Amino acid sequence: MNRLVLGGFIALVLVAIGMFWWQGRAAVEQGAPPPIPDAVQPAPDALPSADPGAMRGPAPPEATELTREEQRFFRYDRNRDRRITRNEMLSSRTEAFRKLDKDRNNLLDFEEWAVATARRFDGADGNRDRELDMAEFLTTAPKPAPRKPACRC
């Protein structure tokens, strides 16, 4: 008996959902714009054209070319104030963390990592104002790796 009542209830719910869907679809079709007559529609192969005449758009913005060191500097300088604070320097040091984790078990104490990074920051901060300007940041550049010949021809 319970199955019969449950089946009847589900059938009524499905009928109600179908009616709401049908009525909603009719409302959308009623508000749709009328179709464009065939004589007005462009040929499907024709490309649209526009004649701007003497109009001119705005000039594109000037792009400045950043040097390699400026690009590296702005990776750390998150707020673009041309100063790297201690927090900005420490926030993006995940690669240094991986270098300090010698046994590759991802169990390096944060204090050990922060001490090494803070020492590096303090070594680069020549005037001890706890901020790096562009000249001080240049001293933190990694040493270039020696180039190997491309082939032994």
Structure confidence by residue, pLDDT tens digits, 58-107: 887 777 788 888 888 888 888 888 888 888 887 776 676 677 776 667 77
Strand partners, 132: 84
Of the candidates 11, 15, 13, the one whose C-alpha atom is nearest the C-alpha of residue 3 is: 11
Q: Which two tokens stand for residue 139?
A: 């001293």
Report residue 7's pLDDT band, with 50, 70 and 90 as the boundaries.
very high
For residue range 16-71, list pLDDT tens digits in order: 888 877 776 655 566 666 666 665 566 666 666 667 777 787 887 777 788 888 88
- For 100-128, how does the pLDDT look when each residue is reduced to its tens digit (9 = 90+)? 776 667 777 666 667 777 888 898 998 98
The pLDDT of residue 11 is 92
The pTM score is 0.32
* Backbone φ and ψ of 48, nearest 5°: -70, 150
Select the CATH number that applies to the domain covering 69-138 from these four: 3.40.1010.10, 1.10.238.10, 3.30.750.210, 2.40.110.10.
Answer: 1.10.238.10
61 SS3 class: coil
- HEC secondary structure over 70-138: HHHHHHHCCCCCCCEEHHHHHHCCHHHHHHHCCCCCCCCCHHHHHHHHHHHHHHHCCCCCCEECHHHHH
